Amino acid sequence: MFISFSEAETFLRNCKDAVIITHQTPDGDCIGAGFGLKDILAELGVRSRVVCSDPFPARYDFMTKDGAGEDFEPQTVIAVDIADENLMGKYKEIYGGRVQLCIDHHISNKNYAERTLLRGEATAACEVIYDLAKYMGVKITRHCAMCLYTGIATDSGCFKYDCTTPRAHEIAAEMMRSYDINFARINRYMFDVKSLGRMKLESYVTELMEEHLDGKLAIVAVTQDMMKELGISMEELEGFAPLTIQLEHAEVGILLRVREDGAYKCSFRSANDVNVSAICQTLGGGGHAKAAGCTMTGSLPEVKAALIESVRKALSE
Ligand SMILES: [Mn+2]
C-alpha cells in the first residue's frame, strides 16, 4: 500500500527497535538514507540498526564509522532505496515478506512492503527522507545532513543527471546554509578519488575504445583473457560503462564483458536522446532509457556486428 508523509510519520513515531535494510552492492543513496534515517529515529527515541548484504565500502566511512547500531531483536523492519525484495540479498531470507515500511524513489517499486512511501519524481531516497524529516519537524543533525546530502549528490551524479530535481538543489543549498557540511570533501571522495589500480584499469579500458557509425557509437570489449591477464573480475569492471559516452560525438556507448560461460554481458549508455532500453529490448534485454543492458552469445565479431547493426537502426529512426 502506498502511503502519505502523514501516515509515514505516524508509523515512525510509533515504531520501536527498527532494522533498516539497504540494498546489496550499496551506493551513496542507500547508505545515506539508511544512516540518515537512523539519526532521525534516534531523535525520536527509537533505536535502530542499519544492515546490508555486502560490506559498506571504505569511502563511505564518514557516514558509517559510528557503527551500524547495537544488536537487538528487531520489532520493526524498514527498507530504504529498495525497489524489489531481491535487492536485499541475504536479508531477503530473513526479512522478505516482512517489510513494514519502504521509503523509495524508484517508479519501478514492486510495492512489496506493507507500507511504501514512494516519491517517484525524487532524485534520491535521501530527498524523500529529508522532506519527511522536515514534514515531521524532527531535528536534523550535521551527521544526518551529510548522509542525506551524499545520497542526493551520488544519485544525481553530482547534480548532473536528468533525474536532478530543483528540490535536490534546494536541499543541497539548505544543507550548505544550515548544517555546515563539508560538501567539497564529500564530492571529492564520491567522484574524484580512485585507487591506483582503478586508475590503471581505466586507462586500460580507454585503450580498448573503438569508434563506429561515424563516431556515434563507442564500444569497449573486455575478453576473458584480458581479465585473466590483469587479474580483474567482472565486478571490478562495474562502473566503466559511463566512460564510453565520455567520448566526443558518441551518442551510444557499449561495454562488453565476457562471462564465465562465454556469453557477453553488454552494458549500454546513452549520451542524449537515443533510448538504449528500446535497443536492448530488441536484443532480449532491457533497462532505462539512458542505461540498459542485454546478454549476447556468439563470437566477438558476430556479437559486435549485431550490436552495431541494432544501434545503426536506432540512430536512423
Ligand atoms: Mn537511490
Q: Where are the domains of the chain?
A: 5-192, 196-316
Q: How far is the CA of 121 from the centre of ligand 1 (A)?
A: 11
pLDDT over 90 percentage in the chain: 83
Residue pair 105/125 in contact by the 8 Å Cβ criterion? yes
Quick one: pLDDT at residue 230? Answer: 79
**What's the sign of the alpha-carbon dihedral 22, 26, 29, 31?**
positive
pLDDT of residue 195: 83
Cβ atoms < 10 Å from Cβ of 50: 26
CATH for the 5-192 domain, from 3.30.160.340, 1.10.238.10, 3.90.1640.10, 3.30.420.40: 3.90.1640.10
Distance in Å, CA 127 to ligand 1 centroid: 9
Centroid of ligand 1 to alpha carbon of 81 (angstroms): 5
> Average pLDDT of the chain?
94
Question: How confident is the model over 231-252, as pLDDT tens digits?
Answer: 777 777 778 899 999 999 999 9
Q: How far is the CA of 125 from the centre of ligand 1 (A)?
A: 5
How far apart are the C-alpha atoms of 156 and 284, rounded to whole Å? 28
Rg (CA), the chain: 21
DSSP result, 66-126: T-S------SEEEEES-SSGGGGTTHHHHHTT---EEEE--TT----SSEEEE-TT-S-HH
Q: Considering only CA atoms, which of 134, 128, 98 is closest in space to residue 113?
A: 98
| In contact, 33 and 22? CB cutoff 8 Å | yes
**2 pairs with which residues across the strands?**
116
Query: Rounded to whole angstroms, how far apart are CA atoms 240 and 269?
Result: 10
Grid cell in block for residue 227? 581479465
- Is 5-192's fold the same as 196-316's? no
Q: At what angle do helices 125-136 and 28-43 cross, to 10 degrees?
A: 20
CB 273 within 8 A of CB 288: no
Distance, first Cα to last Cα, the chain: 40
Distance 32 CA to ligand 1 centre (A): 9
CA of residue 155 to ligand 1 center, whole Å: 6
CA torsion angle for 152, 234, 252, 203 (degrees, to 10)? Answer: 90
199-232 per-position pLDDT tens digit? 888 888 899 999 999 999 999 999 888 888 877 7
Which CATH code, of 3.40.50.300, 3.10.310.30, 1.10.1040.10, 1.20.120.1630, is assigned to 196-316? 3.10.310.30
pLDDT of residue 201: 84
C-alpha 234 – ligand 1 centre gap (Å): 23
Strand partners, 270: 252
pLDDT of residue 72: 94
Q: What is the pLDDT of residue 22?
A: 98
| pLDDT given at position 288 | 85
The whole-angstrom separation of Cα 168 and Cα 150 is 11
Q: What was the pLDDT predicted at 136?
A: 98
- Ligand 1 centroid distance, CA of 253 (Å): 23
Would you state the pLDDT for residue 272? 95
Q: What is the pLDDT of residue 194?
A: 84
Global pTM? 0.87
Residues of the chain below pLDDT 70: none
